[in-house]
Amino acid sequence: MPGRASLSEIMRLLAALGDPDEALSLSALLSLKKMDTLPVDLLITGLRDAHERVRSGAAFMLGVNRDSDAVDPLIAALQDLDKDVRRKAVWALEEIGDARAAESVNRLLDDQDSDVRVIAARALGQFKVPYVVESLIAALQDKSMRGNATWALGQIGDVRAVSPLLTVLGDSDYWCRQAAAEALGKIGDKQAVEPLVATLHDEYWGVRHAAAEALEKIGTPEALAAVEAWKREQGKK
C-alpha cells in the first residue's frame, strides 16, 4: 500500500503489528514500510492510544525510524502498564541510541517482566554511559540477564567490570562465556590474560575463538605467544 494513508488505516496497521497471527503482523509491517511518509508525530500520538497493540506497534515503528524526536515520548512509554509496550519502547530506544534514555532504561533492570529486563540490559550497552556499570554488574547475578549484561559491559569498556566478567568466563552457559571473552577483549585489561589463555581450551569453538581474539586485542607478549601456540595446535588437528 504505497503512498499516503488515512489516520485510521495507520492505526489499524499499528495494531496489527502485535497480532498473534505472524502472517498478519508481517503484512502490516510491510504495508507500513511501503508508505511514502509515516509522520513521527502520528506515531508518538499512537504511544498514547487506548489500545495496547497500537501503543506497542507505534513504539516498534519509532524504533524502525530511529528519529531522535521520539526519545522523550518513548521514555514515557517505559512506564506503560502493558509489558509488550515497555519491551518495544526499550528496543526502540536502543535502536535510536540516545544516551538521554539511559537513566530510565537502567531502572528497568528491576522490571517485573523478565523480557523487559533482558532487553534493557542490552540497551544499556548501546548508550555507553559509565554510570550504569554497577547496575549491569549486579544484573550478572540474574541468569536471564547475564548474557546481555555481559555484552553491554563490553560495549561500555569500564575496567570495573573486569573481575565480574572473569567470573562469567567460567559460566555454565557457553554463550555467556563467549560474551565474557569478547567483552574482556574490548576492555583490554592485562589481568584477563591468564584466564583467557585457559579459555583457549574451552569445549566450544566459539568460546575458544573469542578468547583468542581477546588476547590479540590485549596484545601483551604473553597473550600473543599463547595465541600463536594455540593456532599452531589448531593447525595440527
Joined together, the cell numbers standing for residue 93 give 530506544
- Do 1-95 and 159-237 come out as alike in CATH topology? yes
Domain 1-95 classification at class level: mainly alpha
Instruction: Reply yes or no on whether the pLDDT at 134 is more than 90.
Output: yes
Q: How far is CA 106 from CA 16, 94, 117, in A?
A: 30, 12, 9
Mean local confidence (pLDDT), 59-71: 92
What dihedral angle (degrees, nearest 10) is formed by the CA atoms of 57, 62, 63, 66? 170
Structural fold of domain 97-156:
Leucine-rich Repeat Variant (1.25.10)
Lookup result for grid cell 559460566: 171
What residues contact 49, with CB distance under 8 A and at least 6 apart? 11, 14, 55, 58
| Candidate ranges 27-31, 62-66, 179-183; pick with highest mean pLDDT | 179-183
Which position has the higher pLDDT, 196 or 233? Answer: 196
CATH classification code of 159-237: 1.25.10.10
Q: How many residues does the chain have?
A: 237
Question: Helix 205-218 to helix 221-235 angle, to the nearest 10 degrees?
Answer: 150
Percent of the chain predicted with pLDDT > 70 = 93
Annotated domain spans of the chain:
1-95, 97-156, 159-237
